[in-house]
Amino acid sequence: MKPDFIPAYDPQEGALRARELFEETFAAKPEGVWRAPGRVNVIGEHTDYNGGKALPLALPHAIYVALRVREDDQLKIISEDFPQLSVHSLLELAKNYPASGPGAFVGGVILGLKQVLEDNGHPEKAQELAQKVPGLEVAIASSVPLSAGLSSSAALECAIAVGIDDLASLGLAGSFEGRKLLVEAGKVAENRYVGAPTGGLDQSASMLCEQDRVLELDCATWQTRSHPFDLPALGLSLLVIDTCTSHDLADGQYGARRAACEEAAQVLGVKELGELVPKGIAPSDNLTDLEAADYPPSWVQSQLDKLEDTEQVSRVRHVLTEIARCQRLCELLEAGADLDQWRELLDASHESLRRDYEVTCKELDVAVEAARGAGAYGARMTGGGFGGCAIALVRSDQLEATADAILDAFAKAGFNQPRFLSALPSAAAGRVE
């Protein structure tokens, strides 16, 4: 049995697939095609809604949307993955939410962007959007695996966002500040209209990442900084392992962890836990050996000592050390490749997510263990967890051998066959044609 690698559509292929699906479904030509990439986090998990830092990159795997404005409030949506035409009312969604189905994502972005523009002093643009995009016909083609923790939902939201930005002639996607408003629209769509309490990291990655670089994202200030991540020059590849295990962030597990962090922040007297992390992390601070007597650093332990709830202690320990690990890896990226330190940080991140945040699963743990056994330069789960994907930094000439080792481990454990992606940092959301 050979590993199943999921190919990414090149932009021309993705646009063609979306356009042909649109024409077949609606018997008309779309007004354009837009794309937005999925994402993986190199490190920095469950830090976004805690005002911390994360380090995502945009995948070459993307969602493509062909769009045409309607004259009524109807949303008509067709997808390669769900070939049954879905019909929704934008006005109905505005009154009754959260909702399910693709209409909640598509309509949520339209309604979310209108609200974001009004809240940020652009009522004229909000009115323009409402007038120019009362409804929408949508055809979706995607090479981003669904329910894998690779931000397929955020990619859809961002593709719709840059699309309606163009269709309404708002001009937001042409500037960094404008793109931040589009990010916020996607976040509102996910939180309010879909009902998933995500923190905005996924949308930021899809909308702000750059080719051949990773994005350092400060989720407290939403300031960004790009770092070089030229893996081919180092003879490395980033292997993404889709465990093919169910992954649903709209259920109670994700929300429960977010609530525990918010409650702990109140006890500790801060708005978000990220406020407790110093700007500079001392080299002596142990962030990698979770069994050592000096783990976690004293500045982390001093906060944990103020908490009485044992669950809060575990959750906060992960969040604070994960933010610090992200900061340290950003420093390493600027200083040059230190693969041993990269390995330690990535491995420690996974163990913290497994032990303290409790969001891994047997499949994720086996994937990570098998990748490490095959010689990976660090491996960890990525995304929200409870299933989904892991990543492994591997030598390019060992990419398939590592996948083979993971495939064998899954077979021995009686798990579903995993799928794989090879990821290079790619461009952000934008128009294709």
Joined tokens for residue 275: 């406020």
**Domain 4-227+427-431 is found in CATH 3.30.230.10:** yes
pLDDT tier for residue 32 given thresholds of 50, 70 and 90: very high
Joined tokens for residue 432: 């294709």
Flag whether pLDDT at 405 surpasses 50. Answer: yes
Count the helix, strand and coil residues of the chain and give each as a percent rounded to the nearest 5. 45, 20, 35
* Domain boundaries of the chain, sorted by first residue: 4-227+427-431, 230-423
DSSP letter assigned to residue 417: P
Tens digits of residue pLDDT in 301-358: 999 999 999 999 999 999 999 999 999 999 999 988 789 999 999 999 999 999 999 9
Mean pLDDT of 249-274: 89
Could you tell me which residues are beta bridge partners of residue 431?
A: 34
pLDDT tier for residue 431 given thresholds of 50, 70 and 90: very high
Model confidence, pTM: 0.91
pLDDT tier for residue 248 given thresholds of 50, 70 and 90: low
Which are the contacts of 28, defined by CB distance < 8 A and separation ≥ 6?
22, 68, 137
Tens digits of residue pLDDT in 362-398: 999 999 999 999 999 999 999 888 899 999 999 999 9
- Tell me, what's the pLDDT at 250? 43
Question: Cα–Cα distance between 257 and 357 in angstroms, integer?
Answer: 8
Mean pLDDT, the chain, rounded, equals 95
pLDDT tier for residue 251 given thresholds of 50, 70 and 90: low
Question: Cα–Cα distance between 153 and 249 in angstroms, integer?
Answer: 11
Question: Cα–Cα distance between 390 and 380 in angstroms, integer?
Answer: 5
Cα separations in angstroms, 23 against 29, 34, 67, 260, 353 = 6, 15, 11, 48, 45
Architecture of domain 230-423: 2-Layer Sandwich (3.30)
Flag whether pLDDT at 253 surpasses 90. Answer: no
Mean pLDDT of 124-141: 98
Which are the contacts of 36, defined by CB distance < 8 A and separation ≥ 6?
62, 63, 154, 155, 156, 157, 158, 159, 161, 162, 206, 207, 428, 429
What residues act catalytically?
Answer: 202
Could you tell me which residues are beta bridge partners of residue 56?
A: 41
- Tell me, what's the pLDDT at 45? 95
What percentage of the chain reaches a pLDDT higher than 70? Answer: 99
Among residues 84, 336, 331, 91, the alpha carbon closest in space to that of 225 is found at 331
Tens digits of residue pLDDT in 66-87: 999 999 999 999 999 998 999 9
- Number of neighbouring beta carbons within 10 Å of residue 183: 26
Flag whether pLDDT at 249 surpasses 80. Answer: no
Flag whether pLDDT at 134 surpasses 90. Answer: yes
Mean pLDDT of 249-253: 64
pLDDT tier for residue 247 given thresholds of 50, 70 and 90: low
DSSP letter assigned to residue 272: S
Flag whether pLDDT at 99 surpasses 50. Answer: yes
Flag whether pLDDT at 254 surpasses 90. Answer: no
218: left (phi over 0), alpha (psi -120 to 50) or beta: beta
Amino acid identity of residue 279, one-letter, is: K
Mean pLDDT of 120-142: 98
Question: Cα–Cα distance between 10 and 15 in angstroms, integer?
Answer: 9
Question: Cα–Cα distance between 262 and 30 in angstroms, integer?
Answer: 44
